[in-house]
Amino acid sequence: MTKRLISRFATFACGLLLSFGALAAAGGPLEQAGTDIGDRASLQRGAQLYMNYCAGCHSLKFMRYSRMAEDLGLTEDEVMNNLNLTGAAFGEHIISSMPAQQSAQWFGQAPPDLSLITRVRGSDWVFTYLKSFYLDETRPLGWNNTLFANASMPNPLWEMQGLQRPVHGEVDETGEPTVAHLELGTPGSQDAQQFDQTVRDITTFLEYVGEPAALKRQKLGVWVLLFLTVLTLLAWLLKQEYWRDVEH
Ligand code: HEC
């Protein structure tokens, strides 16, 4: 009985490991996003970038402008003048102004809501995805992506990143050439390091949107540790006090 359970568990664990392996291998290795949601400046830059380059297509339906203002340390005026580009009220959710049906026609796929994207795909995936666009004239919009093959999203950040071209490797089993790696054909307005930071800021912002409570939890954690330290000190002093009587 126990043996059978163990062997079943082992089969299950192997299956899990294999499928994780297959998932990771599907789009090549992921780069480390290096995000830190405690970095308020990065969060604020990420929010600005998101609203300018992503919110036209992608909603954040679980996030309100007012909550974002409070968590990111922004005033209502700052949010309404710089970050709210749709004319929505301060208390409303961040909804893209693009009609879903039409966008499905334009792109072949409606842009999904990104509220939970870093929890579904992981931050490293989002970071790598945003850096992996390349020119491909066989695709309807002229863009492809090495991590997410045939994604129907055009590269929104190309002016900053520049235009990446594929360097083809061997032919795969269907006779198509594979992409060995990408090279920067035309440089953009940012160098590689600056662009990494831009993508990291957007990913940090999306990580916060996926779990807004994490910000508060991080801050609370410091107080909890401080409290425990003081408590330990008091307990130690009390112990000294008791033992003094015992020793004499
Ligand atoms: C012009 C519209 C448009 C813009 C602008 C845009 N996207 Fe997209 N995005 C799409 C579409 C369409 C898809 C669906 C791709 C598919 O499934 O083939 C998508 C898919 C994605 C996905 C993958 C979701 C999944 O299926 O797991 C991520 C992540 C993403 N977008 C992030 C962003 C970010 C971040 C920005 C801003 C820097 C951005 N997008 C800007 C249209 C857009």
Phi-psi sector, 73: left (phi>0), alpha (psi -120 to 50), beta: left
CB neighbourhood size of 27 (10 A): 16
Question: Do 57 and 103 form a contact (C-beta atoms < 8 A)?
Answer: yes
154-179 pLDDT per residue, tens: 999 999 999 999 999 888 888 888 89
Quickly state the pLDDT bin for 25 (edges 50, 70, 90).
very low
pLDDT in tens, 82-102: 999 999 999 999 999 888 778
CA nearest ligand 1 atom 41, residue: 54
Question: Rounded to the nearest whole angstrom, what is the distance from the C-alpha of residue 110 to the centroid of ligand 1?
Answer: 9
Q: What are phi and psi of 245, to 5 degrees?
A: -65, -40
Please give the average per-residue pLDDT across 190-216, as a whole number: 96
Binding pocket residue ranges, ligand 1, CB within 6 Å: 53-54, 56-58, 107, 109, 111-112, 114, 117, 121, 126, 129-130, 151-154, 156-157, 202
- The count of other CB atoms within 10 Å of the CB of residue 111 is 19
| Burial class, 39, CB count within 10 angstroms (exposed 0-12 / middle 13-18 / buried 19+) | middle
CA of 21 to the centre of ligand 1 (A): 25
- Chain CA centroid to CA 38, Å: 14
Å from CA of 148 to ligand 1 middle: 11
- Degrees (nearest 5) of the Cα angle 48, 207, 39? 65
Cα dihedral 144, 145, 150, 156, rounded to 10, equals: -60
Could you tell me the two tokens for 222?
Answer: 């410091």
Amino acid identity, residue 16? L
- Ligand 1 centroid, distance to 194 Cα (angstroms): 21
Which of 128, 129, 144, 153 to probe ligand 1 with, by most ligand atoms within 8 A of CB?
153
Q: What atom of ligand 1 comes closest to residue 103's alpha carbon?
A: 12
Q: How far is CA 223 from CA 72, 81, 196, 217, in A?
A: 20, 35, 33, 10
Portion of the chain with pLDDT greater than 90, in percent: 71
Average pLDDT over residues 130-153: 95
Q: Residue 153 pLDDT more than 90?
A: yes
Residue 1 has pLDDT above 80, yes or no: no
Which of the two residues, 27 and 105, has the higher pLDDT score?
105
